[in-house]
Amino acid sequence: MSTRLSTGGRNLNRAKQISFSFNGKQLKGYEGDTLASALLANDQMMVGRSFKYHRPRGILASGVEEPNALVNLESGPQFEPNMVTTTVELYDGLSCQSQNHWPSLEFDVGAINSFMGRFYTAGFYYKTFMFPRFAWKHVFEPIVRQSAGLGKVPKDRDGDRYEHFYAFFDVVIVGGGIAGLQAAAAAGASGAKVLLMEQGAHWGGRSMVDGGHVDGKPVAEHVAALLDALDAMENVTLRNRMMGAGVYDHGYVLGYEKLTDHAPEADGPKHRLWRIRAKQIVTATGALERPLSFSGNDIPGVMLASAARDYVERYGVSAGDRTVVVTNNDDAYRTAISLKNAGLEVPVILDARATGGGALAEEAKALGIRVENGKAIAKVKGGKRVTGVAICAQAGEGAVLEEIKCDAVAMSGGWSPVVHLWSHCGGKLIWDEDQAHFRPDTTRAPTSHDGQAFVTVAGSASGPLGLGDVLIDADAAGKSAATAAGFKPKKGDAPEGVTPEQAALEPVWLMPQGAGPKLRMKAWLDFQNDVKVSDVRLAAQEGYESVEHTKRYTTLGMATDQGKLSNINGLATLAGQLNASIPEVGTTTFRPPYTPISFGAIAGEARDEAFQPLRRTPIHDYHEDQKAFFEPVGHWRRPYCFPQGDESHADAVKREINQTRNSVGLLDASTLGKIIVKGPDAGKFLDMMYTNMMSNLKVGKCRYGLMCNENGFLSDDGVVARIDEETYLCHTTTGGAERIHGWMEDWLQCEWWDWKVYTANVTEQFAQIAVVGPNARKVIQKLGGDMDVSKEGLAFMSWKDGKLGDFDARAYRISFSGELSYEIAVPASQGRAFWDALMEAGEEFGIMPYGTEGLHVMRAEKGFIMIGDETDGTIIPQDLNLNWAISKKKEDFLGKRAQLRSHMADPNRWKLVGLETLDGSVIPDGSYVIAAGENANGQRNTQGRVTSTYYSPTLDRGIAMGLLHNGPDRMGEVVEFNKVDGTTVKAKVVDPVFYDKDGEKQNV
């Protein structure tokens, strides 16, 4: 059984015992434990079940590569699924539940899948759930849903805070092991601005466990001194609990900093996502140990040799009393030595190499440990935990030579450099035959904006595994990164590291090498997703030759650990089956993030109030106070209508329109775009921007104008006012302000840069209020001031500056409703007061605000088009009978050439008409006018469509505008619109102007 040792554990503070709970059981741990080490200390060997077969799963690793020991952490707003226990730092009161089992960890009905294992092979899902079709919905999906999935989905809102942070460095070093520290020291000494980040809480990495000497001192002493030195350097920033999540184009690095995961009671953000620009990046990301593929390698109690050693050395925890070590390299001997020195039993070291190990093997033997060369595990015995191993010859097929009782197995299949960050942005790999791993090809590094390499790799991440080589490599990497960033590193040699010489590794992709089908079926590659040697072989047999295809077919490497443990073993298995070399098969693509990062960190500040900008007019507070029903228009929220009490929206709109048409109403039109265009060439410029002539507009007058893009299609419209000889003010649609301003600047900067025109977007300088209705003038006159707003004093389609009351106002006599109407602009900071003054002045006339729906209905009653309703990016002004607004005199304007194209001049284009339903009903939005016959796809032919359709309170009937084939020539004809229910509605083709055809009302 696994247990806490009485001594040891360099990470522990044994003076501080803390309690936590697992599946409701109260357990004890120490400060400095990880959740995994604390679980092991409490003999919680089994921590979860696998994804497909629901096999018992134990802790396999001690770091980020852990595939099994995932839990649901905490509850309520702090709940997080799929937390990797080997990276969760234990804190007092931690509570977690194991996952992926039903109904309980100990008894799981899904485990029956395991007995069905022979049918659940590679591609099982693809093969099984195809037929019969109905079975997916009624049989397979309900079962899969019950048993599938890892962690639970959070039910509550996330109660924590997250943020981003932008930072800029000369050199960013990822990984705070001995290599990263050395690289930081080398780069820092040059004066470069350096960031060194370490994903865990502790510095020094594996060297702290594996030992050795640096410049004659124990490695731990060296690390402590190096840290002190780095701390003292002002140009070096050290951050632990911060992972290099990804490396992207042009030196962009994401650093994922966990601030309060280990101390949830602390205030402040939980995670911070550093968005870093680095001139140079050094990946000192170390290496990960590979498992060995033998039968039963997934039984709880089998773990990586390095992990077994970590638990003893770092946490004072033993995985078992009797641990069998199995290896193909020298490093695992360190585990045996560690365990033995801790007073634990190591009944045997099985070394798959016939020739055995080097100095470390001798040291183990000297401690009295039995070493068997050329031997392997035939199978591991046990169910929910290891009870023993059967030993065989590695060279054979698994004939059992001996059985040994044990409660843990420590395995090592060699080490793979962590090449993820090197590879994210295009760094290439080469296959190292001697070490049997892929390592960065330093001649093909990722390149940046200047075409130069911007990633350097340091330490065991680049291949070398011995301390001496690691230090030399890391020192050189730090210096070369500093040089590439434009700094001059200090001369000097790397410190000298000494560890025992190691004998060569021998690749072992299957144990024993001749294992038959029965053993292969229990030899796991991907522990979480239940992919075994047999599955990859089957995939190859079925024709999956590409590693990317095999990955998806078998799900190898698709679990939350993303193949950190399993990929190389899987590739090698595939290569073996395809009779190809491993580099020929290649790797799957390494994509960021290195390990999962929280959604909260990705969102940063963008949640709740700060989720998205909401633009407010100066009168917004009034609308909110009145409980207006808002509709989004771009990032603005505009009142759709102002319901009173429990009035329906339809009733509110009707009331608002009737009041406006009969007396007076107010519209907050502040959102309309307002762009100043000034200069000697302003008229010439606007003649190009608009389809109609603007240069001949008289000062003091307004003109409605249309803008098209170069494809000839309508893009925006609005009223232009000429302010003085050189200055125009162009109104745009609400959504068009920024776009049209950019459009103008584009032409001025990039095409007609010699034209003397300046523009300024003054949309938000003004609150603009439309005072609309027969009593509009009376209301305005009541305000007093020096502005003459009489029919003569301010004629239709003119504007004027002056005082209204004591407000600085500019009044435009323009109308989008057909009524007597003034649009009055005041400085935004006076907008609310002006609105209130109008409401007060209009009280005797029953004045009330109206919303965008009232605006839309009234403009439709007048037959005015709306950009976005009558237009959709494929409509030219001619389609809307707006020929009167297209200058025939001008040689050129944007869109003119396009409108000369044959299909634009085609008389068969659908054109705008008004529509009146025969029964007075409202034509459904989006309806088409049906035509005889069917098209090639068997669909009903169409000859037109509705573009705007409303109930008109003024006419008390449904009115609409639409585009119809030869429309204007078909006045009086009855056409049919389709409806979703299959019926149709008949409508008469009429003039689009339904109200006040002669325009008398707006002109009083």
- Which of the stretches 33-41, 162-170, 308-316, 376-384 binds other proteins when contact is defined by CB under 8 A? 162-170
CB nearer to other proteins: give 163 or 351: 163
CA angle, 433 then 332 then 293, to 5°: 65
Q: DSSP string covering 776-823, please? A: HHHHHHHH-SS---STTTT-TTBEEEEEETTEEEEEE---SSSSSEEE
Residues 599-618 that bind other proteins (CB under 8 A): 604-606, 609-610, 612-618
Question: Which listed residue (450, 548, 788, 872) binds other proteins by CB under 8 A?
Answer: 450
Q: Binders of other proteins among 255-314, rule CB under 8 A?
A: 266-269, 272, 275, 277
Among 250, 490, 940, 997, binds other proteins (CB under 8 A): 250
Q: Residues with Cβ < 8 Å from 723, sequence gap 6 or more? A: 676, 699, 729
- Looking up tokens 């992926």 gives 100
Among 211, 264, 358, 827, binds other proteins (CB under 8 A): 827
Question: What is the x/- site pattern for other proteins, positions 314-353, by CB under 8 A?
Answer: ----------------------------------------
Give the shortest CB-837-to-other proteins separation in angstroms. 8
When binding is defined by CB under 8 A, the residue of 76, 516, 742, 999 that contacts other proteins is: 742
Q: Identify which of residues 403 and 745 has a Cβ nearer to other proteins in the complex.
A: 745
* Residue 836 neighbours by CB under 8 Å, 6+ apart: 622
Q: How far is CA 157 from the centre of its chain?
A: 18
Q: 347: cis peptide before it, omega within 30°?
A: no
571: exposed, middle or buried (Cβ count in 10 Å: 0-12, 13-18, 19+):
buried
CB of 250 to other proteins, least distance (A): 5
Q: Which of 28, 262, 684, 756 binds other proteins (CB under 8 A)?
A: 756
Least separation, in Å, of the C-beta of 615 and other proteins? 4
Q: Report the site for other proteins in 69-108 (rule: CB under 8 A).
A: none
Contact call for residue 751 and other proteins (CB under 8 A): yes
Per-residue contact string for residues 665-704; x = within reach of other proteins by CB under 8 A: -----------x-xxx------------------------
Most distant CA atoms of the chain, gap in Å: 114
Question: Under the criterion CB under 8 A, does residue 16 sit at the interface with other proteins?
Answer: no
- Cα 423 to chain centroid distance, Å, stands at 20
Stretch that binds other proteins, among 212-220, 278-286, 480-488, 756-764 (CB under 8 A): 756-764
Stretch that binds other proteins, among 152-160, 427-435, 875-883, 897-905 (CB under 8 A): 897-905
How many residues of this chain interact with other proteins, rule: CB under 8 A? 82
Among 14, 152, 161, 988, binds other proteins (CB under 8 A): 161
Distances (CA, A) of 915 to 703, 909, 912, 970, 990: 28, 18, 10, 11, 6
892 binds other proteins (CB under 8 A): yes
Q: Is 788 in the site for other proteins (CB under 8 A)?
A: no
Q: What is the smallest separation between the CB atom of 762 and other proteins, expressed in angstroms?
A: 6
Q: What's the CA gap between 495 and 474, in Å, rounded?
A: 10
HSE-CB for 614 with a 13 A CA cutoff: 13
| Using rule CB under 8 A, residue 763 touches other proteins | yes
Q: Which of 125, 252, 796, 951: binder of other proteins (CB under 8 A)?
A: 252
The region of 13-21, 215-223, 504-512, 740-748 touching other proteins under the rule CB under 8 A is 740-748
Residues 355-414 that bind other proteins (CB under 8 A): none
β-sheet bridge partners, residue 825: 768, 810
Tell me which H or E stretch contains 163. strand 162-174
- Restricted to residues 182-211, the positions that interact with other proteins (CB under 8 A) are 193
Question: What's the one-letter identity of residue 317?
Answer: V
By the rule CB under 8 A, 558 interacts with other proteins: no
Pick from 225, 222, 168, 177: nearest CA to 195 = 168
119 binds other proteins (CB under 8 A): no
Site membership for other proteins, residue 801 (CB under 8 A):
no
Q: Give yes or no for residue 248 binding other proteins (CB under 8 A).
A: yes
**CA–CA distance from 205 to each of 52, 223, 360, 895 (Å)?**
34, 10, 20, 65
Question: Residue 705 and residue 701: Cα distance in Å, rounded?
Answer: 13
Q: What is the DSSP letter of 322?
A: B
Interface with other proteins includes 808 (CB under 8 A)?
yes
Q: What are phi and psi of 912, to 5 degrees?
A: -75, 135
Q: Please report, for residues 911, 957, 959, 989, the alpha-carbon distance to residue 918 in angstroms, rounded to integers and kept in the order given.
A: 21, 10, 10, 10
Q: Virtual CA dihedral for 830, 836, 841, 845, nearest 10 degrees?
A: 140
Stretch that binds other proteins, among 78-86, 298-306, 751-759, 843-851 (CB under 8 A): 751-759
Contact indicator for 330, 358 with CB cutoff of 8 Å: yes
806 binds other proteins (CB under 8 A): yes
Cα–Cα distance measured from residue 318 to residue 492, given in angstroms and rounded to the nearest whole number: 42
User: Smallest Cα–Cα separation from 380: which of 353, 410, 347?
Assistant: 410
Contact by Cβ (8 Å): 66, 86: yes
Cα 68 versus chain centre, distance: 26
Near other proteins by CB under 8 A: residue from 237, 560, 658, 966: 237
Report, in Å, the least distance between residue 579 CB and other proteins.
34
Q: Name residues contacting other proteins, limited to 645-664 (CB under 8 A).
A: none
Nearer to other proteins, 553 or 622 (CB): 622
Instruction: Sort strands 25-31 and 13-22 into parallel, antiparallel or unpaired.
Output: antiparallel
The verdict on 232 binding other proteins (CB under 8 A) reads no
Would you count residue 447 as binding other proteins (CB under 8 A)? yes
Cα 951–Cα 638–Cα 855 angle in degrees, nearest 5? 35
Contacts (CB under 8 A) with other proteins, residues 699-738: 710-711
**Candidate list 118, 133, 155, 449; residue touching other proteins; CB under 8 A:** 449
Check residue 443 for interaction with other proteins (CB under 8 A).
Answer: no
* 589 in contact with other proteins (CB under 8 A): no
